[in-house]
Amino acid sequence: MGHEGSADGPAHDLAHDLADDQVDVAVIGCGPVGGVLATLLGRLGHRVVVIERHAVPYPLPRAVHFDHEIGRILQACGIGADLPDVSEAGHDYEWRNGAGQVLLRFGARPTGPSGWPDMNMFCQPALERLIEQAAADQPTVEIRRGWRLVGLDDGPDGATLTLEPDAGAAEHLRARYVIGCDGANSTVRDLVGTTVTDLGFFYDWLIVDVVLHEPRVFDPINLQICEPTRPTTAVSGGPGRRRWEFMRLPHESVEELDDVARAWQLLEPWDITPDDATLERHAVYRFQARWADRWRTGNVLLAGDAAHQMPPFAGQGMCSGLRDAANLAWKLDLVLTGRSPAELLDVYEVERSANVRAIIDFSMELGQVICVTDPAEAAERDARMAEGAASGEAGPPPPLPGVTAGIIRADDPLSGGLFVQGRVDDGRGSTALLDDVVGVGWRLVTVHPDLAGRLSADARDRLAGIGGRVVTVAEADDVDGTYSSWFAEHDVVAVLQRPDFHLFGSACQPGDAGALLDDLHRSLTSPTDSPDAANSPLSPLPAPDGGTR
Ligand SMILES: Cc1cc2nc3c(=O)[nH]c(=O)nc-3n(C[C@H](O)[C@H](O)[C@H](O)COP(=O)(O)OP(=O)(O)OC[C@H]3O[C@@H](n4cnc5c(N)ncnc54)[C@H](O)[C@@H]3O)c2cc1C
């Protein structure tokens, strides 16, 4: 494996003009999104303070699924090796009607395009512990638990935050940028006066998490029961755990449903009783579809649930937030180090909100399939969907839309798509995922042996100037043939991969790589001249009925 260019970590002089008492970034909220953002920024050498109102981590599970792309983002946080302890691969996700007829089925590859399983079932508090530790391990990151953001005064050079401790006097903190990762009821969003678009889609569901006393096989591992008398979800909650979700029916009150005896009663038909499981919790959640109308206000930005919420039927709420973090981290890095103008931060919303809205739509469409309580409507749905399900093999989950506008090269059919990660020879007699060998950042990846040597000194300098590297994957190192087959299939010799694993663009000939780097340089120095969504080459998501949307 050949790779050259700068080492990982801060590739630029980070001694930017900050007053001693001013941090680069204040992250509000130490949920999964705040934790990942702080870790990624810390790994790039930035001074980050994470403010979290709870003195101890939130102990109860919410999300139970993340996809292959998120596995790679978590790997970039340095916790890839720990993920098998808190997650298990899901191999299928089936939708059935009350009579057991299959309406929709997704298979899942044990290794998805990013080098991680398509479906990872996990326990959110266990994952959050890993993420918080990864953030705390960064020498430039400080986590302040037991402090609540109550005030925000933004100015041209940064913001002044007012923080209140659990006990004691309020304090002020200066930050160049403030990122609201403070969840669905975001204080940051309120303080900057950002309105929210609410699609008015809401259903209440009883969430029940159990820890099994003995291991048990569930087949399929993930199941939706589209039964009008009680729409139900039964999925893995990570190793040794199961999650059930029961929809509140029109005649039921939240109080009637949110009851421990009622939870056990609903579990009984699943052969789950206090003899074989411990009820970890039960709680009624309202699933909603909403987004913040503006993600950047001056030096203040929103990410994760603070910027968007969606019903969990596609298991993508937290995943979307972690994509925000991966997207925002490299943009903040370039802006904080003066390599891109602050307008690059406007492109964050352009890139992420289109993706999030497509996933919200998809999640709502799934919800409209499952949340049917009218028997006639359910029968009509079953007839329509069962025909499609009977005819086809269970394919992998549909690919999510990539980056459709922003820092992507115009008129390149590959730009904006998610690039693959394969296993390679690590040079020490073993194999490893590519990112673990060459690190994360801007990567000009090629299978062409001479491409690196043909780059001009200027092009090399530009790549090195943004912390980038040329990575040449030789055939002998490409242990599963991931790269040789990807490049052969797409008929290109090199791709320029962004630090969030999406492609800026591709080169058909070795001599085209220099122009690719020139285009990137132009995009990063004049980010608002970047292509708009109309140039998007990406396909829309398939609809649940197999059509396109
Ligand atoms: C039942 C259910 C099932 C779900 N299933 C999935 C799934 O399978 N897959 C998936 O991807 N997603 C799923 N989700 C969504 C997922 O849980 C959320 O999207 C994710 O937790 C959001 O992370 P976050 O870091 O943005 O916000 P949060 O996790 O809410 O964290 C926000 C943090 O900010 C802190 N905070 C708030 N205000 C302040 C303040 N003023 N000062 C300081 N700190 C503050 C809070 O204490 C909190 O710790 C599910 C959600 C639910 C409810």
Atom of ligand 1 nearest to the CA of 29: 34
| Ligand 1 near 315 CB (within 6 A) | yes
Looking at ligand 1, which residue's alpha carbon is closest to its atom 29? 31
Q: What is the pLDDT of residues 477-522, one digit of tens each?
A: 999 999 999 999 999 999 999 999 999 999 999 999 999 999 999 9
For residues 38 and 181, the answer to whether their CB atoms sit within 8 Å is: no
CA distance 273 to 307: 39
Q: Looking up tokens 């980010």, which residue turns up?
A: 527
**CB-based contacts of 376: which residues, under 8 Å, 6+ apart?**
none
CA distance 340 to 16: 13
323 CA distance to ligand 1 centroid (A)? 14
Average pLDDT over residues 280-304: 96
Residue 253, pLDDT score: 95
For residues 242 and 210, the answer to whether their CB atoms sit within 8 Å is: yes
pLDDT band at 391 (very low <50, low <70, confident <90, very high): low
Residues listed for the chain: 549
Among 336, 443, 466, residue whose Cα is nearest residue 45: 336
8 CA distance to ligand 1 centroid (A)? 30
Q: Is the pLDDT of residue 532 over 70?
A: no
In three-state form (DSSP H/G/I as H, E/B as E, the rest C), the secondary structure along 176-220 is EEEEECCCCCCHHHHHCCCCEEEEEEEEEEEEEEEEECCCCCCCC
pLDDT band at 165 (very low <50, low <70, confident <90, very high): very high
517 CA distance to ligand 1 centroid (A)? 37
Identify residue 341 by its one-letter amino acid code.
P
Among 250, 248, 276, residue whose Cα is nearest residue 262: 248
Show the tokens assigned to 546: 């197999």
Atom of ligand 1 nearest to the CA of 287: 53
Helices (H), 392-512: 434-438, 451-454, 457-465, 482-490
Atom of ligand 1 nearest to the CA of 182: 34
**CB-based contacts of 414: which residues, under 8 Å, 6+ apart?**
490, 492, 495, 503, 505, 506, 537
Q: What is the pLDDT of residues 183-232, one digit of tens each?
A: 999 999 999 999 999 998 889 999 999 999 999 999 889 999 999 999 99
CA distance 461 to 206: 56
Residue 510, pLDDT score: 93
Give this prediction's pTM.
Answer: 0.93
CA distance 536 to 409: 10
Q: What is the pLDDT of residues 440-450, one digit of tens each?
A: 999 999 999 99
**CB-based contacts of 15: which residues, under 8 Å, 6+ apart?**
none
For residues 222 and 122, the answer to whether their CB atoms sit within 8 Å is: no
Q: If you count DSSP H runs as helices and E runs as strands, how many of each does the chain have, helices first?
A: 15, 26
With b for 16 or more beta-carbon neighbours within 10 A and e for fewer, the 147-159 pattern comes to bbbeebebeeebb
Whether residue 274 is preceded by a cis peptide bond, meaning omega within 30 degrees of 0, is: no
Show the tokens assigned to 524: 């990063």
Residue 13, pLDDT score: 41
**CB-based contacts of 192: which residues, under 8 Å, 6+ apart?**
152, 154, 297, 298, 300
Residue 161, pLDDT score: 98
pLDDT band at 471 (very low <50, low <70, confident <90, very high): very high
Provide the 10 A C-beta neighbour count for residue 531: 19
Identify the weakest region by mean pLDDT among 211-225, 319-333, 388-402.
Answer: 388-402
Provide the 10 A C-beta neighbour count for residue 196: 16
Residue 1, pLDDT score: 63
For residues 306 and 293, the answer to whether their CB atoms sit within 8 Å is: no
31 CA distance to ligand 1 centroid (A)? 6
Phi, psi dihedrals of residue 146, rounded to the nearest 5°:
80, 15
pLDDT band at 387 (very low <50, low <70, confident <90, very high): confident
Average pLDDT over residues 352-361: 94
CA distance 528 to 282: 47
Pocket test for ligand 1, best of 65, 182, 191, 204 (most atoms within 8 A of CB): 182
Q: What is the pLDDT of residues 227-273, one digit of tens each?
A: 999 999 999 999 999 999 999 999 999 999 999 999 999 999 999 99
306 CA distance to ligand 1 centroid (A)? 9
pLDDT band at 392 (very low <50, low <70, confident <90, very high): low
Provide the 10 A C-beta neighbour count for residue 503: 23
**What DSSP designation does 397 have?**
P
| Ligand 1 near 30 CB (within 6 A) | yes
Angle 124-136/68-76 helices, nearest 10 degrees? 30
CA distance 325 to 302: 10
